[in-house]
Amino acid sequence: MRANDLSLYFFGRCLVCDRMSIQFAYDIHQTWEANCQRGPQFAEPCPVVPETPMKSFLGLPVRSRIGIAAGLLPNSRWILPYAERGFDILTYKTVRSAAHPCYPLPNWVFVEESSPPDGPVFVTTTLPRDPAQISSAVCFGMPSFSPEYWRDDVRRTRAGLQPGQLLIVSVVATPHETSSIYEIADDFARCAAWATEAGAHVIEANLSCPNVASAEGSLYQDASASRTVVDRIRKAVGGTPVLLKIGTFGTPDSLRTFLRTMNGLADGVTLVNCIRRPILHRDGRPAFGPKFRTAGVLGRAIHEPSVSVVRAVRECIESDDLSLSIAAVGGTSTVRDFADFFAAEADAVLCGSAPMYRPNLAIEAKHAHPEW
């Protein structure tokens, strides 16, 4: 078997890439736990990362304003190899105050665009020749290792980073059916305090997950409840910067209300956290089972809508004189995609799925735009 054939079989199984084999750092056919244990698999050694002048994000020094959002980096085995490849703002995947299992496979599928902007997307095993055009969908359920594990691992991760690199730790509550908003807020705050003690430079409160059916997945839709949560987090972490991970809003007024309500408590927002759409096989079967007919779409299909959301948020911040920064996320898989977000006045740009198949994207961006 040729090397390219082996790579395609092991990392992509039956995926066809139009005469091109793509080696994926994350094996979508293996469990989340197996991927966490194994770490990313790269086709080539790390190229030389260009030196770039220091910048600032959230008042902290950074070598670049380029990074990776919560999702692809579940532990130090993943974060440190991507830090070596020039991603300087690295988000530790969302953690909880108790161990929480991952949903059964499949958790990650590749999809083809259909009926944009909110119609279904369809599972595919044939990928575009240009990996920058890949779209995918995920449904993990925000799994988490135990606090004993992740608190030690956050310390390990922080110690392994270089000057000018930031560690964001994303946290979420784990409510019960009868949990009050105050109990949810306390759970968020508990995780945030632990993450800060372990060495997080920045805390990200994950108020938005399109792939859970419980209260923690849509908190951002309730500005008052979100303020209760963020107030508790702020008291727990003191002066540590706090980002709020949010999704799309139904109306411009609801977006503006949320931003105004968070101003003065949070330091910024991370958006967009996927875009929810139906994820189907061509015969109509839900890709992630009947409970999750809709789930979060990533990659090329969501880039333009995500840029539009970032632009709208910046307009609100400027018009209302709010003190909030923007960490932009959504379909960033080329240097041009970074440029789109920076042109929309994002303060930082975090990749979601693209580093899975374009691990040297930060290096490419730094060569083209050292000012980022």
**What pLDDT, in 10s, does the model give residues 107-131?**
999 999 888 878 999 999 999 999 9
> What average pLDDT does range 304-332 have in this prediction?
98
Q: Does residue 321 have a pLDDT over 80?
A: yes
Give pLDDT, residue 244.
98
Cα distance between residue 331 and residue 328, in whole Å: 10
- Tell me the β-bridge partners of 166: 89
pLDDT band at 201 (very low <50, low <70, confident <90, very high): very high
Which tens digit of pLDDT belongs to each residue from 120-164?
A: 999 999 999 999 999 999 999 999 999 999 999 999 999 999 999
Give pLDDT, residue 209.
59
Q: Does residue 215 have a pLDDT over 80?
A: no
Count of CA atoms in the C-beta half-sphere (13 A) of 189: 19
Give pLDDT, residue 317.
98
> What average pLDDT does range 230-258 have in this prediction?
96
Which tens digit of pLDDT belongs to each residue from 340-356?
A: 999 999 999 999 999 99
> What average pLDDT does range 293-310 have in this prediction?
96
Structure token digits, residue 226: 């979100």
Residue ranges per structural domain of the chain: 54-368
Q: Does residue 211 have a pLDDT over 60?
A: no
Give pLDDT, residue 272.
93
Buried b (16+ CB within 10 A) or exposed e, 303-341: bebbbebbbbbbebbeeeebebbbbbbbbbbbbebbbbb
pLDDT band at 176 (very low <50, low <70, confident <90, very high): confident
Phi-psi region of 119 (alpha: psi -120 to 50; beta: other; left: phi over 0): beta
Give pLDDT, residue 159.
98
Write down the residue that tokens 């304003």 correspond to.
65
Q: Does residue 216 have a pLDDT over 60?
A: no
Dihedral sign computed on CA atoms, order 290, 71, 42, 301: positive
Cα distance between residue 163 and residue 161, in whole Å: 7
Give pLDDT, residue 217.
53
Q: H or E segment at 311?
A: helix 303-319
Q: Does residue 170 have a pLDDT over 60?
A: yes
365 versus 114: the higher-pLDDT residue is: 365
Q: Does residue 240 have a pLDDT over 60?
A: yes
Pair 189, 181: CB distance under 8 Å? no
Cα 11 to Cα 21, 26, 40, 138, 334, distances in angstroms: 10, 8, 11, 17, 22
Give pLDDT, residue 19.
40
Cα distance between residue 359 and residue 308, in whole Å: 26
> What average pLDDT does range 298-321 have in this prediction?
97
Return the DSSP state at 155: H
CATH code for residues 54-368? 3.20.20.70
Any residues with CB less than 8 A from the CB of 116 and at least 6 apart, and which?
301
Write down the residue that tokens 């898989």 correspond to.
333
Which tens digit of pLDDT belongs to each residue from 52-77?
A: 999 999 999 999 999 999 999 999 99
Which tens digit of pLDDT belongs to each residue from 1-36?
A: 223 332 333 333 445 444 456 889 999 999 999 999
Structure token digits, residue 283: 């015969």
Structure token digits, residue 273: 């956290």
